[in-house]
Amino acid sequence: MNNNFFMGLELLTEFSRFPRRPQPAKLEEFGEETRIANLCEYLSELQWVNFVVSGFGQARWPVDVLTDLAVVLEQLPSVLPEIERGNYHFTLEFYEQGLERYLYFSEATPWVRIDCLSLTEWTPTPSTVYLEKAVIKDMLISLQNSFEELVNRLELNQINSHGINPA
């Protein structure tokens, strides 16, 4: 089975010196897509992290924190509960102009089949990969948890000055 796919955050700075907020925020608390987009914009400005996606023949997809991470994070609140129920039939869309890729996940026991469709001149090679269910689940939960950890390292006044209310 071909398992050449990864999605996650790559830290660019040592941010452990920043204290965590006493009341950590969770992704679902942000609610509106605008708030997630604003947080991604702010994290992009800070340059603390890169959003990394690789696979389907491309070592690093041309994705960024500003738009593409926000797009994926906005989809996780509907995807993660399905995975918790054991349903691995979902789509992750990377619909920003110039990237325009769609990942279609489906169960192929004991694997998860991921089909990549590109609406640009780029062609995924291979167009299908297979990963274990636990790998998919861990990857997406890790992406969410890493984002929440970054947000929780921000000072509340910094977040509020960008028009974001995480609580």
The Cβ-side half-sphere exposure at 13, using a 13 Å CA radius, reads 12
Phi and psi torsions of 130, nearest 5°: -125, 135
Q: Which of 10, 23, 18 is nearest to 142 (CA)?
A: 10
| Burial group, residue 29, by CB count within 10 angstroms (0-12, 13-18, 19+) | middle
Is 0.85 surpassed by the pTM of this model? no
The residues, ordered by sequence, that sit 6+ positions from 96 with a Cβ below 8 Å of its Cβ are 67, 68, 71
Q: Which helix (H) or strand (E) holds 131?
A: strand 128-132
Per-residue pLDDT of the chain (167 residues; tens, 9 = 90+): 556 899 999 988 776 655 555 555 555 555 555 678 888 888 888 888 899 999 999 999 999 999 999 999 999 989 999 999 999 999 999 998 889 999 999 999 889 999 999 999 999 999 999 999 999 999 999 999 888 888 777 754 455 444 444 44
